[in-house]
Amino acid sequence: MGDLPPGFRFYPTEEELVSFYLQNKLEGRREDLNRVMDRVIPVLYIYEYNPWDLPQFSGEACHGDPEQWFFFIPRQESEARGGRPRRLTTTGYWKATGSPSFVYSSNSNRAIGLKRTMVFYNGRAPHGNKTEWKMNEYKAIEAHHADQNQSLIASSSSNTPSAPTLRQEFSLCRVYKKSKCLRAFDRRPLGVEIMSNPSLNLNQTAAAHEGAGHQGQGSTSHRRNPLMGSDQRTNSSSPESSSSGDHHGPQPPSQPAGETGTLPMFIDNEALWDLEQLMINNNWL
């Protein structure tokens, strides 16, 4: 795994994390598979370390990854005795934020796991200082009580899901550092729909371009990329939206894509940012 060429990354979806990695870790039936998974997602009691120390213990597939790191967390003794988990480190603590949410199977639409998001605070509760370090913790739903669990899930609201029976032997966590720029993990299921100004059609754009060489004012108008004057709408292509839970659901466009003067396009957020930089560098704005 250490010889992977540049550009190859460990890039799992939430469903893959729960249905394949966590489920196989819990079952433990294949020793050869367990050895491979331990190289990809190591077993680590992460609360013995501060979050900024965790990247050095990440699996081979995440070595050098500046965005996210994955670990299996064994059940604590306090949890085994029916108590609450201790999420304290030497310098701070992890605090849950928001409400738990479910991870669903794309094949059966059944809930297969439960996700909690946590933030790391420096200091001691309740006076700690919030940091940019975050974590998603995943636990698998007990398959032997699937029908009962699905009934609980169906009867619960989307904001306050009822607690199904969970497998406690291991949980899987994704540790990441919140930054001002979008991370690749969050960009995966997210696209940006760009709708052009309805008053500007393709013929007008072409005419402005042709007249640019004859009029100074026309030169200014054709340099303005029509994409940048359009409305932007986020569109999630996956029910899970993203693992960090920061994105909202899809929003329908205000106009059908087939109307005159409308240019529906779906591009990656990073590509949009690159486009803006390119236009600035070349004085197109």
Query: Do 42 and 62 belong together in one domain?
Result: yes
Number of domains in the chain: 2
Query: Do 26 and 158 belong together in one domain?
Result: yes
CB 42 within 8 A of CB 59: yes
Query: Do 160 and 267 belong together in one domain?
Result: no
Query: Do 169 and 272 belong together in one domain?
Result: no
The whole domain housing 168 covers: 14-180
Query: Do 78 and 153 belong together in one domain?
Result: yes
Instruction: Answer whether residue 5 is part of any domain.
Output: no
pLDDT of res. 27 = 92
pLDDT of res. 267 = 42
* Closest alpha carbon to 167 in 31, 19, 12: 19
Query: Do 80 and 156 belong together in one domain?
Result: yes
Instruction: Answer whether residue 239 is part of any domain.
Output: yes
- Reading the chain (285 residues) residue by residue, the pLDDT tens digits are 556 677 778 889 999 999 999 999 999 988 999 999 999 999 999 999 999 999 999 998 888 788 899 999 998 887 777 778 889 999 999 999 999 999 999 999 999 999 999 999 999 999 999 999 999 999 999 976 555 555 555 665 555 556 789 998 999 999 999 876 655 555 555 444 444 444 444 455 445 445 555 554 444 434 434 333 444 433 333 334 444 544 444 444 444 444 444 444 444 445 445 555 555 665 555
pLDDT of res. 8 = 79
The C-alpha atoms of residue 82 and residue 186 are separated, in whole angstroms, by 35
Residue at which a domain ends, from 124, 146, 180: 180
pLDDT of res. 38 = 92
CB 110 within 8 A of CB 85: no
Burial class (CB in 10 A: 0-12, 13-18, 19+), 267: middle
pLDDT of res. 178 = 80
Query: Do 173 and 223 belong together in one domain?
Result: no
User: Cβ contacts of residue 76 below 8 Å, gap of 6+?
Assistant: 45, 85, 86
DSSP secondary structure, the chain, as one string: -TTPPTT------HHHIIIIIIHHHHH---HHHHHHHHHHS-B--GGGS-GGGGGGGS-GGGTT-SSEEEEEEEPPHHHHTT-PPP-B-SSEEEEEEEEEEEEE-TTT--EEEEEEEEEEEESSTTSPEEEEEEEEEEEEBPGGGHHHHHHHHHHS-SSS-----B--SEEEEEEEE--SSPPHHHHTTEEEEEE--TT--HHHHHHHHHGGGT-HHHHHHHHS-GGGGSEEEEEESSTT--TT---------SS-TTSTT---EEE-HHHHHHHHHHHHHTT--
CATH number of the domain where residue 72 is located:
2.170.150.80
Query: Do 165 and 82 belong together in one domain?
Result: yes
Instruction: Answer whether residue 3 is part of any domain.
Output: no
Query: Do 37 and 126 belong together in one domain?
Result: yes
Residue at which a domain ends, from 180, 209, 238: 180
Instruction: Answer whether residue 9 is part of any domain.
Output: no
Token pair in block for residue 15: 């469903």
CB 152 within 8 A of CB 162: yes
CB 93 within 8 A of CB 125: yes
Query: Do 100 and 239 belong together in one domain?
Result: no
Instruction: Answer whether residue 1 is part of any domain.
Output: no
Instruction: Answer whether residue 135 is part of any domain.
Output: yes
Query: Do 30 and 95 belong together in one domain?
Result: yes
pLDDT of res. 196 = 44
Instruction: Answer whether residue 7 is part of any domain.
Output: no
Residue at which a domain ends, from 126, 155, 180: 180
pLDDT of res. 112 = 96
